[in-house]
Copies of this chain bind each other. A is one copy, B any other.
Amino acid sequence: MGKNIIVSKVDSIPVNEREVELVERKGHGHPDYMADSIAEAVSRELSRYYREEFGEILHHNVDKVLVVGGQVSRGFGGGVMIQPIYILVAGRATVEVEREDGSKVKIPIGPIILRAARNWLRNTFREEYFNVDEHVIIDYRIGQGSADLRRLVENRVKYPPANDTSVGVGFAPLSETERIVREVEEELYRQRMKIPAIGEDIKVMGLRVKDNIRLTVATAIMAQEVSCVEEYQDVKEKIREIALGVARKYTERNIEVLVNTADNYEAGAGGVYLVITGTSAEHGDDGATGRGNRINGLITPFRPMSLEAAAGKNPVSHVGKIYNIVAQKAADRIAQLPGVVEVYVELLSKIGYPINEPQIASVNMIVEDDERFGAIRKEAEAIVAEELDRIDELKHEFIGDNPPPVC
């Protein structure tokens, strides 16, 4: 069927130069980020197990994790958890495998899920605040499938058929504002090791109107580390400075940073944003896979976006995951071509057809110089084709030490 690549030139203004720009990032401790990351952690752990035991990553899809907020009682100085966070991992997985000798093997699906989820929580939050034994209940509801290795091996193809008709989107480069929003969250998350009062749940919203960038930062503050409003305000001021410092590195535009703007100091501890575990999921905020950042770590409502959750899907045949990664990789490379100002790559799979043969691979780009478009077009087409054909290697990256990000 071929790759159906169409490369077009568009005449619109690059995002970085438009009048208004809007971008959001939900940070590591945000309930939606948690749901995405746990989905992906489970998929990775499962994939590794399958490959180790059977030489193949078997079918699974755990892209429906729900994080149900708990309940805490807290004030300046600390607090206690009343009702733990409840995490439900839902989806499907291969739980029984028939080996080539006819013997049947069961997959330790439950322990894999619990281990993956707990490990992710342990690695993301600080154990002195988030007690994985007591602050969370992890349960799962997984549809059970089986696999026949002989048939799998017989039918093995380099490019398995797409499992669905679905869309992947990538673009490059990031605008200044986008970069800033992402880096501010990353930096604040790192800084929590030095400034313990900074919680893991950080949300950054960036609004640029012409040359004025306003960052609205919502950061959960550790109740244990602030004993009064004044200390709380000090932490906010530090956060503001860090954010400002990061932003300055990327832009010369005017920067305004607002931190926890909903605070109402008159209401005391109840009026400010305090947490005891690091995440707002501790007190009623819920999260769900697919509701947070796209694979570039951002939510960009004015840019093309795929609604597909990449997290938790299997990296072999799930186009909802793979096409987003491929589109982003292709966009990143095309953006490097001389003369390309901005590029969008959009892929649509054809269910049942080889995964490297999309219904359409649409590339839209803004170029500096129309005359050079002919040459660029060829290169872009080659890049997209190449990235599509690399899909069979991609699955290994997901299991490796440095996997592609999914949120």
Chain A contacts to B: CB under 8 angstroms: 6, 8, 10-13, 18-20, 22, 24, 63-64, 66, 68-71, 73, 80-84, 86, 88, 90-92, 95, 105-111, 114-115, 118, 131, 133-135, 137-139, 141, 143-145, 161, 165, 167, 169, 203, 205, 207, 209, 214, 216, 218, 261-262, 264, 283-284, 286-292, 299, 301-307, 309, 344, 346, 348, 350-352, 359-360, 362
Q: Knowing A111-B80, A301-B169 touch, does A64 contact B19 (C-beta < 8 A)?
A: no
A284-B91 Cα distance, complex, nearest whole Å: 7
Among B70, B111, B216, B305, the residue within 8 A (CB) of A81 is: B111
> Are the CB atoms of A352 and B262 closer together than 8 Å?
yes
> Are the CB atoms of B299 and A307 closer together than 8 Å?
yes
Known A20-B360, A207-B359, A302-B304; 13 more pairs at CB < 8 Å: A12-B12, A63-B286, A64-B286, A64-B288, A66-B288, A82-B108, A92-B284, A110-B137, A139-B139, A165-B203, A261-B351, A264-B352, A299-B307
Complex interface: chain B residues within 8 A of A207 (CB): 348, 359-360
A68-B110 Cα distance, complex, nearest whole Å: 14
Complex interface: chain B residues within 8 A of A209 (CB): 6, 360
Nearest B residue to A23 via CB reads: B167
Among B64, B69, B86, the residue within 8 A (CB) of A92 is: B69
Complex interface: chain B residues within 8 A of A286 (CB): 63-64, 90-92
Q: List 27 A-B contacts (CB under 8 A).
A: A8-B20, A24-B167, A63-B286, A64-B287, A66-B66, A68-B143, A69-B92, A69-B143, A71-B106, A82-B106, A82-B107, A86-B139, A90-B286, A92-B284, A111-B134, A111-B135, A114-B137, A137-B138, A137-B139, A143-B284, A207-B348, A209-B360, A261-B352, A288-B291, A301-B307, A301-B346, A307-B307
A305-B169 Cα distance, complex, nearest whole Å: 13
A203-B307 Cα distance, complex, nearest whole Å: 15
> Are the CB atoms of B106 and A134 closer together than 8 Å?
no
What's the nearest-Cβ distance from chain B to residue A180, in Å?
16
A286-B288 Cα distance, complex, nearest whole Å: 12
> Are the CB atoms of A81 and B66 closer together than 8 Å?
no
What's the nearest-Cβ distance from chain B to residue A181, in Å?
12
A111-B329 Cα distance, complex, nearest whole Å: 44
Nearest B residue to A218 via CB reads: B165
Among B82, B214, B288, B359, the residue within 8 A (CB) of A109 is: B82
> Are the CB atoms of A133 and B118 closer together than 8 Å?
yes
Complex interface: chain B residues within 8 A of A107 (CB): 82
Complex interface: chain B residues within 8 A of A114 (CB): 84, 133-134, 137
